[in-house]
Amino acid sequence: MPSPSLVWAGIGLLAASLLTAGCSPTRVVSTLSPTSHLERAPAIAYGTHPRQQLDIYRPNEATAATGSPVVVFFYGGSWQRGDRGKYAFVGSYLADLGVVAVVPDYRVYPEVRFPGFVEDGAAVLAWVEQHIEAFGGDPDQVLVMGHSAGAHIAALLALDERYLLAQGVTRAIPRGLIGLAGPYRFDTDSGRLAEIFAADDGQGDSQPMNFARGDAPPALLLHGENDRVVSAENSRQLFDRLCEAGGTAEVIVYPGVGHMRIAAALAPPLSFAGRSDQDVAAFIARVTGESTDRSAEDVLACGELVSTSAAIESNRLS
């Protein structure tokens, strides 16, 4: 049997050709990503609705340790669509880090409006608290992570404590937040967003920016400078607000990177797409105590600027 590295190399070539042809990165990579080296527990119900199901990814029994860190990943889709099956590559990536990965579906518009999808996220964490130890995970070492609308959900779960309190969560409280291209302050007054967020006329409860606090979990906010879907100012401004409140946060804005590429780069076949995989891995290791290494040279952290123009240029992503 070929080694995982050789398998990934071959998949990378095929994925690159498919992406050049204009195929969706998430669909391509999740279709091609091998998972035979992992354990996957699919379609576990955390509620009664058909979309209230989750998949778990973890290293196989030969390598999995008990009490592993847990990362719950919420995908994007404008709060209107999404399929956890398309994000198997994220589960595989996280499991390769020694993490128990939880990738849920959640209810979306028009079945629910805000805050229904955030409440589903809290229900996922309640399920994690009660059951994740059976899958080798530690409910006291849970991080939340999301891309795009999923980053919005993850941020509200990490910053607005009401959702987890309503679910009675006491152990699976996020120890870290990882946001990829997240919308943290946005206009909900017009178009479809006015319908989705109709319950929040004053744009107060739906905006993660409004819940920045000094005792918030450490946050890693990653964004692409070329993101035309969600402006990078969202991550910059949430970072500023968390720092002003006395919190712990890091932000990296990658030159030349767009909205989907920042998530696609988590998959080994698409490592050419960026280095968000490295930065996420390093952050998880620091938050869980596996490493004390400093952040990357071009990260902006609260209280210090660990960056020079030369360092940023040397890490420019093409």
- Report residue 18's pLDDT band, with 50, 70 and 90 as the boundaries: very low
The b-or-e profile of 76-96 (16+ CB within 10 A means b, else e) is bbebeebebebbbbbbbbbbb
Share of the chain above pLDDT 90, in %: 72
| pTM, 2 dp | 0.86
pLDDT tens per residue across span 32-52: 555 667 899 999 999 999 999
Structural domains of the chain in order of their starting residue, each with its CATH number: 36-314 (3.40.50.1820)
Would the CA dihedral through 248, 253, 259, 263 be positive or negative? negative
The confidence score (pLDDT) of residue 296 equals 75
pLDDT tens per residue across span 55-68: 999 988 655 567 89
* Measured torsion, CA atoms of residues 65, 66, 68, 70, in degrees rounded to the nearest 10: 130
pLDDT averaged over every residue in the chain: 86
- Report residue 310's pLDDT band, with 50, 70 and 90 as the boundaries: very low
- Report residue 104's pLDDT band, with 50, 70 and 90 as the boundaries: very high
DSSP string, 178-210: EEES---S---SSHHHHHHTTT-TTS-TT-GGG
